[in-house]
Structure 1
């Protein structure tokens, strides 16, 4: 199966999503649309990228994750009902799912179908498009060729075969260490905003949340510095396990959004 060099237009992705919306998730084992199965984000998550069913599973998992994190809180649950992953919506016909989704936002089912559903599908298509921009397709040359891909703390002989390889692995490990640290600090901030450290002591909770913000912002700066150091020396492609990422997309992968998180 092919892997797309660049993700297709959002409208093309949205058209390919229509059969999935109609049938509801999970994605059928018979699904074979290469517009979606060829997305770099789907290929990168596939355990066996050359096997169609492995890509189907990866697409199903990715769609579920995107819908759980749907960016519009007002429409999030309606979107999950529409795609059939919300409790009580699994196995329902598309007509019943539309009716339930419409009820959630106090709209008529026909209005939902004509006016709101296309926007929901387009948003999911855009999220798929954005996700695929995080990955770089295989086959591009990148110095230096290395034995290890950074997916394990094991140190292999190839990692320290020469100074260049050792320096690359060291920087690669530091990048990913701070990407995961940033993800942890983002999660900590969001947790403390929802569940205060000590609800009975507002001042203590505010202080702990302020410390969490400070730790989060430190990791944002650290990831930015390390990304720039990596790109300056090795270029855009960065590995993690069997996946390949655009180095400058790592902040977004960690969950950071410059527009909404300051």
Structure 2
């Protein structure tokens, strides 16, 4: 598989600070390029599924590393490394590299456990519930307007026609259709307005949320199609790892003397 230039560039950037070993890939104007840099790039390329370790791949990487060293030397010769904007960018890149390594080491020492993943999955399934609801709504500015709409529906007016006057322009021309969703997908007060309805039922009273007053209709219900733990395990693990990192960051910030 051919490695795309943009992906190769990202891989190269990621190993700019790779440690040097005795064996060199090349020496450019007296500056050695350690072979370890090629090994590091190859490892990243293979891990990303963008290619296989081969002499051809290593030759492509070698040429790019040599070209980058030549350009780097020329840029330094012309004083680009002394420019304020370049220094600022280098400081930012250095900070990102160091902080990312700290984060990786922290997660390695404090890994997300299978028990934590299972507990988070159970919390998600409990919150989501075992049912999905096909809901429609009409959003009005005032409670009086919403009550008037409810009265019209009781008088025989079609919900879908009245929905054309909804403040929710995204659903007004589609009969107020919010499609299938779990109650957890909505604000609690909105969800409470339809979970007790029978199929085809309309809320007896306007449901107030931060957006206004809603008239809600329940089209139908069905069993929720929840993914299995194995299907979402990687995503749950990533989310929990990010949560751990966020908590660690907050702890460090609290300990710091910030003036």
User: Do both share a fold (TM > 0.5)?
Assistant: no
Higher fraction of strand:
2
Larger radius of gyration: 2
TM-score by length of 2: 0.24
Q: Scaled by the length of structure 1, what TM-score is found?
A: 0.24
Could you say which structure has the higher helix fraction? Answer: 1
